[in-house]
Structure formats: structure tokens, C-alpha cells
Amino acid sequence: MTLFSSPAFENHEGLHAFHDEAAGLNCLIAIHSTALGPAAGGVRMWPYPDDQAAIDDALRLSRAMSHKNAMAGIALGGGKSVIIGDSRTAKTPAMFEALGRAVEGLGGRYWAAEDVGINPSDLAYARKQTRFVAGLEGHPAASGDPSPVTAEGVKRGIELCVRRTLGRSLAEVTVAIQGVGHVGALLAGKLAAAGAKLVICDVGAEATAAVAARTGARVVSPDAIFDVEADVFAPCALGGAISADTLPRLKARIVAGGANNQLTSAAIGQALFERGMTYAPDFVINGGGIINVAGEIRAIERGEAFDHAWVEAKVAAMIDTLGEVLDRAAADHQPADRVAVRMAKERIAAAKGR
């Protein structure tokens, strides 16, 4: 299969490869669409087993960002960066300065932000080489770490699904959270504050212990999280959590979390629908972070201070959009993920036709 005929390619505008031997950088930047505005999406660093795996991930994530940004109602297209390497051992300032030069070379068609394996201090080095980096601190337009806004959006989305599907409040449900990294840990705190009971897992024992100490969550192994008795399953780790193997094990009636690409295929979305489960499409419910980033980009471009009220209004509208997706799915008798993709494509197509 060639690059252009790959299902993951799906009309990408560009896939850019950058190599800097001295800095140790091997990076891909995928731009899916700029119909709504410049592409924006996080930088992910991961020890991919081979180049093809990195290419496939960049393309899938970039396309998902187009859909996410469209559904978030922001003037940004979809893009994504992946750095091939182990974020625990291979990071250097020179690597991220080289990344900044790569982003700068795209002439403003792509804005970079934080994603898996990356933190704001890494991107501060990239910022030395390009202005097209968001999610940093130290200037009037700064939005800071977008993770808290992502977690807040996911919490509100879970609350909506619980109310609609179960007729309950968060204080009356148990939520199983897979992954308590940046977003998962913050989500756990918000849900615990609302009275929810939590079951959590993570590959890092220290992370789970810390979250459990703060929230009273019960800790289980990463594999056992699929089998716990819970009302909501919240994937907040890497993608592909819901598969043909894991779906039959879930006891929850609701799947709603912060991870990207939660379903291994569209067939899994169909299977969720046929089982009568409520699925909050990942690229709708987890859009809070990119809304926060969009607020920073907006402020930078306007020469203004960051506007928290603008972000709050967009997050509230995002939850309304999630409700619209669930309404359409019920009315059309179709899986929610299929409905959400259709809505996102409609918004992108409308922008192209302007």
C-alpha cells in the first residue's frame, strides 16, 4: 500500500519529514486541513517501532485534529507532530530548537502545542526558533498548560452523559479511569470533588498512588481496568483502548474520556451502539485543550491578553455540541462517532466552499 492510498492519508494536505542529525531529531509534521484556519495540534514523542508506525500515527492524529477543531468551533485546521524517540531518555534542548526550525519552515501553516511525552519546558526551546508555538507561559497571551481545560471539558461531558443515559448525578456513579497522566489525574480530582467513586490504573505506580491518595480512588492493574464494575469507562491513556477484545469486558454503559482515537475502528463504534452504550466521541469531548490553545493563538495574533472568558464560552459550546451529536445519533439510529465525523466534515466542507 502506498502513502497516498493509505486509509490514514485521507486527503491530507501534506506530510513533512524533518531530520537533524546533530540535534538527534527525527520528526514528522502532518497537516490534514487548513480550511478553517492554520493547522494546530500537539507534538508527541514516542519510541515508535518503525517509521511506518510513526507515519500512520501522525496521519491519524492529524485527521482527528481536523475533526476536533471543527467540532470545537475554532478557526483552526488539523495537524500533528510526532518525534521518534523515548521522551524519558532522548530529550535535549537542541532537539526542540531543531523542532522549532522545522515548524518555522512551514511558514505559519502549523501551530505546535503539547502532547504525549512533551511538556511546556520542552516547547520553550522550540519557541526560540519560531513564534508558532502555543501552550507556554511568560507573556500576556499565554494560556499555559492546556491539560486542565481538557480535563474540565471531559468532566462536563461525562456529567452530560451520566445525566442523559442514567438519570443520575456524578455523586451517584463510579468512573473507571484508564491512565492518570496530565489529563487523567486532573479529571480524577474533578470527579472526586463532584462525589464520584473512582477506580484508576496507570503504567506508572507512582502516578496511581499519588492520585489515589488525593481522591480515595481504588487502584487496579492496567489490564484489570476493563473488568471493574463501573458506570463510566474513561480512557485517558494512549489510543485504541476500546477494541474487539476489550469491549466485551466493559461493564460500563458510558464510554467518555480524554484519550485520542479511543476506538480501534469504526466497527467498534457500531458495536458500542448495538450494545446500547453511550459513547462520547473522543474528538468532541476532549477538545478543551485545543480550545485553550486556540485562545492563546487568537491573543497572539491580535496582540491582546489571553481571554479566559472566550475559552469558557467555547468549552460550554463544545458540551452543547456533544449534546447535539448524541441527539442526532439517537434520531438517526447511528453510532455517535459516525455522526460526529459527518458533522465535522460538513463544517470543513462548508469552510472550503466559502
Residues taking part in catalysis: 80
**Cell numbers that stand for 343 in this block:** 458533522
Residue holding cell 475502528?
265
Residue 178's closest CA among 249, 112, 129? 249
Helix or strand (DSSP H, E) at 18: strand 14-20
How far apart CA 217 and CA 248 sit, in angstroms, is 24
How far apart CA 73 and CA 37 sit, in angstroms, is 11
User: Could you tell me if 157 and 285 are in contact, meaning their C-beta atoms sit under 8 angstroms apart?
Assistant: yes
Question: In the Cβ-directed half-sphere of 137, how many Cα atoms lie within 13 Å?
Answer: 7
Strands 39-46 and 25-33: unpaired
Who contacts 14 (Cβ-Cβ below 8 Å, separation ≥6)? 30, 31
CA dihedral 319, 323, 329, 330 (to 10 degrees): 160
How far apart CA 226 and CA 270 sit, in angstroms, is 19
How far apart CA 124 and CA 91 sit, in angstroms, is 13
Distances, alpha carbon 142 to alpha carbons 88, 262, 303, in Å? 26, 30, 11
Identity at 215, one-letter amino acid code: T
